[in-house]
Structure 1
Amino acid sequence: MKAKVISPKQHALIDYALAGALLILPSLLKMNKKVKLTYATEAALLLPYIALSRQPVAVKKLIPFTTHGKIDPFNIAQFALQSLAPAFRKNRKELIFNLAFTAIAGATVLLTNWKGKTY
Structure 2
Amino acid sequence: MKKPITAKQHSLIDYALVGALLTVPSLLKLNKTAKRIYAAEALVLLPYVALTKQPVAIKGLIPFKTHGKIDPFNIGQFAIQTFFKPFHRTKKALLFNIAFTAMAGLTVLLTDWKSSD
Q: Deviations for 1:41-89, whole angstroms, at most 9, x for unmatched residues?
A: 0000000000000000000000000000000000000000000001112
Deviation at 1:90, TM superposition (A): 2.2
CA RMSD of aligned residues (A): 0.8
- Unpaired segments of 5 or more residues in structure 2? none
Which residue number in structure 1 is paired with residue 46 of structure 2?
A: 47
Q: Deviations for 1:11-52, whole angstroms, at most 9, x for unmatched residues?
A: 000000000000011111111000000000000000000000
* Whole-angstrom CA distance in 2 between matches of 1:3 and 1:95: 33
Q: TM-score, normalised by structure 2?
A: 0.97
Q: TM-score, normalised by structure 1?
A: 0.96
Which residue number in structure 1 is paired with residue 66 of structure 2?
A: 67
Percent identity among equivalent residues?
Answer: 63
For 1:62, give the aligned amino acid: L
Aligned length: 117
Which residue number in structure 1 is paired with residue 37 of structure 2?
A: 38
The answer to whether residue 88 in structure 2 is matched with residue 95 in structure 1 is: no
* Whole-angstrom CA distance in 2 between matches of 1:5 and 1:90: 36
* Whole-angstrom CA distance in 1 between matches of 2:25 and 2:89: 16
Q: Deviations for 1:84-112, whole angstroms, at most 9, x for unmatched residues?
A: 00111221100000000000000000000
For 2:97, give the aligned amino acid: N
* Whole-angstrom CA distance in 2 between matches of 1:117 and 1:14: 15
For 1:7, give the aligned amino acid: T
